[in-house]
Amino acid sequence: MKNLRVLFLGDLVGKPGLRALFVGLSSLVKETAAQLVAVNGENLAEGFGLTPEDMDKLFSMGVSMITSGNHIWQRDELFPMLDSEKNLLRPENYPPGVPGHGTAVIEIAGRKIGFLNLQGRERMGLSVDCPFRSGKKAVSRLREQTKCIIVDFHAEDVREKEALFFSLDGRVSAVLGTHTHVPTTDERILPGGTAVITDLGMCGPEDSVIGTKPELSIRRSLTQLPIRMEVHDAPAALQGVLLEIDMETGKALRIQRVCRVPEAS
């Protein structure tokens, strides 16, 4: 296998996102001829976190890699899985001693592809280790096994995301932004052969405020009270990108945005 086609989907939000994935993933894989599917799963459990049952459902649907971000810590019952399930990632750049791991390598048709999960520091409300330094160290380790590496950079700040793009250009196959739930139109391949996009968007309800009920977001903005957001129960879109990677060089050959609204989602 010379080239690998990877379907990487954005933040999966609640039951609407899960329904859309259940209904639409198989046909989307056939349409794109994807050979591997990855998804950011940190918002599946009512918008906040991931349960072990959620994880099992994703793997049973054909997802090979689950990445995450700052909300992965909101379901304590998942902590043992973060340690034991090699294809479930939390951001690499958390301090030592927390559960889980931020890198993994998958073998497909005798070839290896690495995954790295990082979290940004700008406007995220948490103090984590530097994603640039942690990322470079992790990439060096992964490149001992493969040149094909995909990075999920879970971050809020566009400047920080774009800086990481160029920091890792030529060292990884792709750097894909997640977290904001809004797909951007800046997908491109940098001079060193790294495919990038600022945000993949989400697998979640379209007529919503980043997946949540609009009326709650309006009330929160008007009152400035810490009203808990709830997932909006509405038809959902599957958003992300299709990557094509040269398995010999690790360079990206193609990045294409994907957006589908499965029927009866």
Those residues whose C-beta lies under 8 Å from the C-beta of residue 87, and which sit 6 or more positions away, are 59, 64, 65, 66, 104, 106
- Under DSSP, the state recorded for 229 is P
Nearest-angstrom CA–CA distance, 199 and 30: 24
CA distances from 137 to 132, 172, 183, 244, 247 (A): 9, 12, 29, 25, 22
Which segments of 89-184 are extended strands (E)?
103-108, 111-119, 149-154, 174-178
Fold of domain 3-260: Purple Acid Phosphatase; chain A, domain 2 (3.60.21)
Q: State residue 78's pLDDT score.
A: 96
Q: State residue 264's pLDDT score.
A: 65
Mean pLDDT by groups of 10 residues along the chain of 265 residues: 94 96 96 97 94 97 97 94 97 95 95 97 89 98 98 97 98 98 97 98 94 93 93 95 97 97 76
Which sequence spans correspond to the domains of the chain?
A: 3-260
Catalytic residues: 71
